[in-house]
Chains A and B, each alone.
Chain A
Amino acid sequence: MSLKTGYSDDVTRGFLTWSIIWGLVAVLVGVFISFQLVFPQLNFPPYLTYGRLRPIHTNAAIFGWGIGSFMAMFYYITQRLTKVPIWSPGLARFQLWLFNLVIILAAVSLAMGYTQSKEYAELEWPIDILVVILWVIFAVNIFMTIMKRKEEQMYVSLWYIIATLVGVAVLYLVNNASIPVSLFKSYSAYAGANDANVQWWYGHNAVAMVLTTPPLAIFYYFLPKITGVPIYSHRMGIIAFWSLIFMYLWTGAHHLLWTPVPDWVQTLAMGFSIILIAPSWASVFNGYFSMNGQWHQMRDNYLVKFLIFGITFYGLQTIQGPSQAIRTFSAFIHYTDWVPGHVHMGALGWVSLVLFAGIYYLIPRLYNTELHSVKLANAHFWMATVGQLIYSISMWVAGVQQATMLHATNADGSLHYTFMETLAEMYPYWHMRAGGGVIYLVSLLIFIYNIIKTIRSGSAVGETLRATGAA
């Protein structure tokens, strides 16, 4: 615990270190599997095939990089907003160990082929149990800290944190219900269309409760910190919060349009997906309007670029998402590369840019030093943005082209292209995508180098020592 601040930041430092490591793993595996799609001879069965590596990529990205960073920042933010130290620093340290154990077990077991097969819920039941323990520890620690807070009013970030704690718990428990056969094998508790409906209720709300509410909590905390100006509208924040967590849960079945899941479930999902634009854009506008009179900071303050580009990609993401949830458009682009293009704008653009801003803000403060190089941070920013745009745009074009070819018919009603003719046209785009991935990977390496140099120039315990010396 730091004597100067009274807050316990060890665990934030620990989670940040590990989340960055898992983020690097996620991108490395992602780049590798993007090359596997172009050069199938890069598959090394049994452990290193696309089919086994892709879940490692998504799990490392969502759980290792995403949730790891959220845990780091939630601990930091919660202490500052409640004005009390973490309820139990010991439990938080244990949580870091458990977190890394889970991620390592996840990577190894997925490479071994132990999987429940449901997207973003692949981990087999013993690891699921560890995840539940991990989450309960985290939730209790954060919530107890909030309970004994010294600041009566809870800032908007804390609401998003509380919603995340409860939302993830419900989703994870329900979708992972399974019938174990052995330590390494289980079957889903649900069958067929029921299983699909539960899975995408989970899958899409993982987007809500993992990839939306936590980055929003972080955005709402760091934007005022970084710009020095308050959030534009507290009221708009309240309305957006409640309508967001209300509407999201209806939309899962937009992943299942035209499948045997009942039509009314699909239609509700489609409708709510469109209405969801409102709360999503309320947050976007809250970000933009907070910048009134402050737009020069886009030039002057490198961190603002990350946050504003981040929230802008969130805005684009939440326009594109609902449009994909419309039946006719879904019929066209679903199952094509359009969708990975969409997902990566959210993952690489929105979530990661906001996390980068948070990390750049935190590391100098946590290690009592200055950022090693703002120039490198700017290089990181532009390369990450360009890499991500190459990825997303090439995949959107690829998706539209393949969809057009797949749906093309001749005068006699027969199909104009065989499946393989459409696939053959994808290779140039897949090359481009891999190129975009490489650029993003390089930007990440620059980021990591910058962070390491920064940490080396400071000292985690320096804060404590200096404070002691002064006393």
Chain B
Amino acid sequence: MFDLLEKKPVILLLLAAVVIMIGTTVTMIAPFKWINDPSQKIVGVKPYTPLQLEGRDLYIREGCNNCHTQTIRPLVADVARYAPGSTDGYSKVGEFVYDQPHLWGSRRTGPDLARIGGKYPDAWHYKHMEDPRSMVPKSNMPGYGFMKQPLDISLTERKMKALGFPYTPEELDAVRGKTEMDAMVAYLQKLGNDIPWRKAAADAPLVGNLTNPFAENVAAAAETGKVLFQQNCVQCHGVDLKGGIGPDLKTSALSEGDLFSKIFQGKGGMPAFGDTLGKEKVWKLVSYISSRKGLK
């Protein structure tokens, strides 16, 4: 048979095409039947608004997907890092039904962004996009200050129509006068937030009693805490703890226990640090902040 093939190019071509199509049919064509099936629909997952969609297109334009992934694997470290405080925060198929194209990426030079939405307040993103190293000193991300330029909205409505996303005249109006940065931040804040996992993680009761284990030796703990504070907190709360993007900690009325929960689980614009720092380091941070309270 092979002797025949070697003499008949048309048959070889056709047979090669058939052979190629077998695996293609099973692993690429057939899965369309199952992937994005209505049974996998997640009710909370909404299409992009005009502003978010423009932000997504800028994310594509700048090639953010070359360094940032958008899919959290069901692995302990992935979930703890990118969906802290949750146990099932890995990415679900139903979360991506409006993503044309998908932006899962293949390399994490920077962190995964599948659930970046709501982690930081908008102000953090504006500062970080403009000058990444002002917020994350060792970052190697390029600065995107030029994105303070006006957003091109000439195609916005056509884009929404092409994708079949619903929109109101008000939403369409909302892109007017916006900058590219505004759109980008709006997109980032949407990511991963259609499932209310962040609130659930922040509201979950903390197990154990919330007393500082370093109460006996606050000074030593505060010393380590100071280093941790400089690494993780100064960007928003300032070197002097007097606040900035985040609130003033010197005048904070929070108890040590409340302070611990807020750092550990996050709340509002405050990211959760429990899964990246662990209890001990968080208590050291609490010790440091307490030791500075009220001081000039």
Contacts and interface: CB of A to CB of B under 8 A. Distances in A.
A97 interface: no
A385 interface: no
Given A238-B2, A335-B69, A170 B31 contact: no
Interface stretch (B142-150, B193-201, B247-255): B142-150
A46 to B, nearest CB: 5
B84 to A, nearest CB: 9
Interface stretch (A67-75, A127-135, A265-273, A344-352): A265-273
Given A40-B142, A201-B24, A201-B28, A260 B91 contact: yes
B106 A255 contact: yes
A414 B227 CA distance: 19
A336 B107 CA distance: 6
B239 interface: no
A335 B106 contact: yes
A124 to B, nearest CB: 11
B185 to A, nearest CB: 17
Given A191-B99, A246-B22, A249-B24, A335 B104 contact: no
Interface SS of chain A: helix
Given A113-B63, A115-B61, A339-B107, 13 more contacts: A40-B143, A46-B62, A153-B7, A179-B162, A181-B158, A187-B101, A187-B159, A187-B163, A194-B32, A197-B31, A407-B75, A412-B280, A420-B139
- Top 3 A-B pairs, shortest CB-CB distance: A192-B96, A51-B63, A249-B23
B148 to A, nearest CB: 12
15 contacts: A40-B139, A49-B142, A182-B158, A187-B159, A193-B35, A195-B100, A197-B31, A197-B35, A238-B2, A255-B106, A259-B104, A269-B27, A335-B107, A415-B80, A423-B140
A373 B61 CA distance: 45
Nearest to B137: A420
Contact of B100 (A188, A250, A414): A188
B80 A260 contact: no
Nearest to A179: B162
Contact of B140 (A37, A165, A170, A417): A37
Interface in A408-451: 408-410, 412-420, 423-424
For the side of the interface on B, what is the size category?
Answer: 35 or more
Interface of A: 36-38, 40, 43, 45-46, 49-52, 54-55, 113-119, 143, 146-147, 152-154, 158-159, 162-163, 165-167, 170, 174, 179-182, 185, 187-199, 201, 238, 242, 245-253, 255-256, 258-262, 265, 268-269, 272, 331, 335-337, 339-340, 406-410, 412-420, 423-424
Given A191-B36, A191-B96, A423 B67 contact: no
B155 interface: yes
A166 B13 contact: yes
B134 interface: no
Contact of B91 (A52, A159, A259, A409): A259
B174 interface: no
B38 interface: no
A339 B103 CA distance: 18
B106 to A, nearest CB: 6
A55 B66 CA distance: 8
Contacts of A258: 73-75, 78
B287 interface: no
Contacts of A197: 27-28, 31, 35
Nearest to A248: B23
Interface string B145-169: 1100000000100110011000000
A409 B80 contact: yes
Interface in B19-72: 19-24, 26-28, 31-32, 34-36, 57, 60-67, 69, 71
